[in-house]
Homo-oligomer: A and B are copies of this chain.
Amino acid sequence: MQRITDGLRKEGKTIGFVATMGSIHKGHLSLVDISNSSADITVVSIFVNPTQFGTGEDYRDYPRDIKRDKDLLRRRGCSILFYPDVDSMYKKDFKTDVYVNGLSQQLCGITRKTHFKAVTTVVSKLFNIVKPNYAVFGQKDAQQAIIIRRMVNDLNYDIKIMVGPTVRERDGLAISSRNVYLTEAEREDATVIYHSLKQAALMIKNGERKSSLILQRMKSMISSKKGAKVDYIEVVETTELKPVSEIVGEVLIAVACYFGKARLIDNIIVKV
């Protein structure tokens, strides 16, 4: 991979990069589009990274379909697929962590304590392997995008990070590889996540500035669905991801919620 991108860069080509865990869907494909709009060549990686799953999480069950993925990516204009195996990514003596302090412990980092350390470590590896000029991440994983941007700035990676908007189903549910875990009933109930975010946006538009009242409303909407188990609902500022009680400037409203065995996340950014 390094020889290939070295060669391309020597020819004056720019490289765009989309890191995925496969199970390619419209969200990923929209990131490929964004990459192609800036870069000459788009590289996509597929790597279901074991270290970023906690114990009891869905590493084994995570959907995999490389044949379908390859086909979708090729047709969407991805020129190079990087598809390493676990043993070549993590040799026996692997010892190194890349860690973004503070940000990695907020929001999803509270339940998923080692998740973001594993994400920044593997993304750092992928950046060194793919050597892209651009890397595109999805807004659905808002915290991940913020953490990776911080890592890139702190470690001086010469990579421009781009964030693509969340792609949604017709009824508003954010597209995710984990949606396949939902039963039919759960799938229907899960739309409440986006409805609650829209409701929050509406309340803010109508002048509400108290996070507590917005969160209360969102919680009651989501809790009205029997199968829903809220992990967190938070209103945070977008640099340190610290909760805010009064909405000013730019805030991230983020939800993580279990429906059956699916842990779904979604968010919106609101500016006042």
Contacts and interface: CB of A to CB of B under 8 A. Distances in A.
Contact of A158 (B121, B128, B158): B128
A101 B93 contact: no
Contacts of A155: 96, 98, 121, 124-125, 128
Interface in A79-111: 91, 93-103
B154 A96 contact: yes
A242 interface: no
**Dominant secondary structure of chain A at its interface with chain B:** mixed
A258 interface: no
A207 interface: no
Nearest to A158: B2
A129 interface: yes
A96 B101 contact: yes
Given A12-B10, A128-B155, A95 B91 contact: no
Contacts of A156: 2, 125, 128-129
Interface of A: 2, 6, 9-10, 12, 91, 93-103, 120-121, 124-125, 128-129, 131, 150-151, 153-158, 239
